A and B are shown apart, each in its own frame.
Chain A
């Protein structure tokens, strides 16, 4: 098997046993990136020298007999809204071009301590606002399975990098589906943990009460392994829950589990995606789970509530990009004009749209009817999920109503916002959710099944995901990987 087709855990074990050097692993992935990232454009920055340097020191540590961690020598791509000391971090926005943070995000510290090697910073919709990566301030990323289609977003670069076999692992962030939706569209596994399970310190905030970092991988077990490394208490994040994630037991199967299919998430779903979900239901039943439909009524209002809360928080979080301290500065006659010109030139259209929406939602006289009401909806959604979880261990739905669409196909913001209709409710509730690829839908494009679970029940969620993965048809791979004859992913 080619190195780039290996699972993260296989690589780590081979590196630790000296069957493979970290240097060989890094070189194999770097050469895949240099061969194909011209078309895919998953990376904003490839850290080739840094990765080679890290690989050498890991190989030396292994030679000295030192303990090197569970992800020793495994390349990982990091969405470019997480900081890495001294390395340009832009959120795919021109307003931050050239900014080199003086500190490293907690999650990046944790994967590095586990022996993983950061191989590059991946593209995203500017400030994680979007569902196609078309909103990147620099260039769009293409779906490796079909280069004429979007990879989804906002973590489109990370999803595409994993699907393209540029890296076995990647980190993304999910505010309303930004991990799960691109995972579904690119045919990889992506998980959004319970809010507070993974530290946000060093994640450049979009909507602080919804943002959560999570793993991308080509297998459920790899995603679980990465989550167990990044989930932990962080004294630097006041919303950190102070617990970890134990990946043991995720292979125990779903025999006797009660799994609900969320009715509200079946509306507007394409026929291909609907039949993928049907076969997933059949597979879970065959594995011994009891499946029933369930209504989570307030989930219907998720999208509306989300598009008040997320922009409101974003309007405040993004205020600091004002040209005074770092990033782009476009000088004006006075400070107000400098603010205006900097933000006018630095932000893209979608970011501006959301800042305006959010500013409006928080304005005097509108707060109660907009932001206040949206927060009430949030409480209702959590309540309705809690009611469903009295009868079910986990819930499933399509991850995205459709497969990956073509570039420019969704030019109207509202139709783009609809991409996240199934994923948003779990961000509002703070619950975990993940997407597992389950076979091709329309045009041979991958489609994922979303698995939802109550807060901190990631163990249950991964068990369902494992069962789905076991029954899934072979994963989609890029054209060039088929040509190379290296076949399916692990």
Chain B
């Protein structure tokens, strides 16, 4: 019996989501990524003595939208100061929300795992600056010096805390990817993990199957991709299982994920943890969103991924299987579900549309290319009718994504213009005449020789012959010869 079979894993996630507001949470500085260091700063986000925060209304609206999208209760909330010293935090405290967060008690459905994960809370807070430690260690201890960029200081964040309801790395990944899709759909964030727009901390513990009590948890920081998240949870769970298996006790720690080495290492233990000395932020008044404001945000919410998934599942004509669910998830995550439904409305097979969208279109979107739903439907029609092979259809999509223009233009530019039925007919006559022996055996009922003739026809036409049309005409020729 492997360790993984003897233990259960429990995972809870804290996701920090950068809001896509025009300006920062408490000042008028631009909220943009990638500016030269320390150019989007002012007395407020630099925490200069005497400067005061003023709350960004748009950030509150986004936080409400997130809460509603996650089925939370949106309520009166209070900002609090989280006190600790760090050079990237200009006031040496962070304005956050503590015991009275704006959103509480929601949930999120994991479609593939088929379970519901509780959302404990979602609260508003300001981001810190960014420190680069220069020196061999790359960490603050032992650095020769450190450079601090305060452009990120004061960028609005919503921190979403899940219940410890996930039981595998896979479920954790699905949670983040579903959450990301929902957050992007609300417009609250661009969801770019690689730019730090979504940052994940994972709380992981293990306990022996058949026991009730959860194990001691460790919190893993620095998970900047779904891949890191999955690997880190697997590594950490295994590490804890080994400790328990050998009779040891897991110590409550904050651990750092090292992507290159594929290991977690201790940052600090519970005993070394900060006492953040939270208290209500006296420079801000309590935030009490009116019911009008909440309803206004609700009215402006777009159709969210769960509803979009339901719509696609309906098109699938019943209960989608696991791989279809994954493909549906990919399409929704990349905003490609409109392509699939357009194709289905045009009468094309759902499975084909879903597969082409989740694979080919998704790859093109990832490469930064785009094509219109009309073009997508056009290509699929050509493929479905047999005018284009699967390989050709994919090539046409790529060409269209890069160049734009009409489907027919792409087909001819790529030399995928098929022969006319008459031309194929002549080709049937030609190859059967050239191979009388095989033709005789085919006539005698060796149907598998159709493939031989298609190959010959492909060779003769330079690949322009449509296999399906050729087969039909070949069969027709035998029929008329026999009748």
Cβ-defined contact, B93 with A316, below 8 A:
yes
CA distance A319 to B141 in the complex (A): 21
Of A18-26, A202-210, A379-387, A396-404, the stretch lying at the interface with chain B is A202-210
B187 on the A face (CB < 8 A) = no
Cβ-defined contact, A322 with B50, below 8 A:
no
- Assuming A322-B92, A362-B83, is B279 touching A316 (CB within 8 A)? yes
Cβ-defined contact, B55 with A201, below 8 A:
no
Closest Cβ neighbor of B281 among chain A residues:
A208
Of B40-48, B193-201, B358-366, B399-407, the stretch lying at the interface with chain A is B40-48
Mask for A72-112, Cβ within 8 A of B = 1, else 0? Answer: 00000000011100000101000010010111010000000
CB proximity of A234 to chain B, nearest CB, Å: 9
Mask for A329-367, Cβ within 8 A of B = 1, else 0? Answer: 000001110010000000000000000000100111001
Cβ-defined contact, B85 with A319, below 8 A:
yes
Interface residues of B in 52-74 (CB under 8 A from A): 52-55
Residues in chain A near residue B83, CB distance under 8 A = 315-316, 319, 362
Residues in chain B near residue A335, CB distance under 8 A = 87, 140, 146
B3 on the A face (CB < 8 A) = no
Number of interface residues of B (CB under 8 A): 31
- Assuming A334-B141, A335-B140, is B279 touching A205 (CB within 8 A)? no
Residues in chain B near residue A186, CB distance under 8 A = none
A238 on the B face (CB < 8 A) = yes
CA distance A325 to B51 in the complex (A): 15
Closest Cβ neighbor of A96 among chain B residues:
B49
CA distance A438 to B90 in the complex (A): 46
Residues in chain B near residue A363, CB distance under 8 A = 275, 277
CA distance A207 to B87 in the complex (A): 23
Of B119-127, B282-290, B409-417, the stretch lying at the interface with chain A is B282-290
Cβ-defined contact, B85 with A205, below 8 A:
no
Cβ-defined contact, B52 with A322, below 8 A:
no
Residues in chain A near residue B277, CB distance under 8 A = 315-316, 359, 362-364, 367
CB proximity of B473 to chain A, nearest CB, Å: 79
| CB-based A-B contact count at 8 angstroms | 101
CA distance A334 to B54 in the complex (A): 34
**Subset of 12 A-B contacts with CB under 8 Å:** A101-B43, A103-B48, A200-B52, A205-B49, A208-B283, A236-B54, A237-B54, A312-B279, A321-B49, A322-B92, A324-B87, A339-B85
Which one of B48, B55, B278 lies within 8 Å of A238 (CB-CB)? B55
Closest Cβ neighbor of A334 among chain B residues:
B141
Interface residues of B in 10-57 (CB under 8 A from A): 43, 46-55
CA distance A322 to B43 in the complex (A): 16
Cβ-defined contact, B279 with A362, below 8 A:
yes
A371 on the B face (CB < 8 A) = yes
CB proximity of B288 to chain A, nearest CB, Å: 13
- Assuming A102-B43, A335-B87, A362-B277, is B50 touching A201 (CB within 8 A)? yes
CA distance A200 to B91 in the complex (A): 17
- Assuming A103-B43, A319-B93, is B275 touching A208 (CB within 8 A)? no
Cβ-defined contact, B50 with A101, below 8 A:
yes
Residues in chain B near residue A207, CB distance under 8 A = 282
Which one of A82, A91, A201, A313 lies within 8 Å of B52 (CB-CB)? A201
Residues in chain B near residue A316, CB distance under 8 A = 81, 83, 93, 277, 279
Cβ-defined contact, A322 with B279, below 8 A:
no
CA distance A357 to B55 in the complex (A): 30
CB proximity of A362 to chain B, nearest CB, Å: 4
B433 on the A face (CB < 8 A) = no
Cβ-defined contact, B49 with A83, below 8 A:
yes
Cβ-defined contact, B285 with A239, below 8 A:
yes
Mask for A470-483, Cβ within 8 A of B = 1, else 0? Answer: 00000000000000
CB proximity of B342 to chain A, nearest CB, Å: 47
Closest Cβ neighbor of B47 among chain A residues:
A320
Closest Cβ neighbor of A235 among chain B residues:
B54
B311 on the A face (CB < 8 A) = no
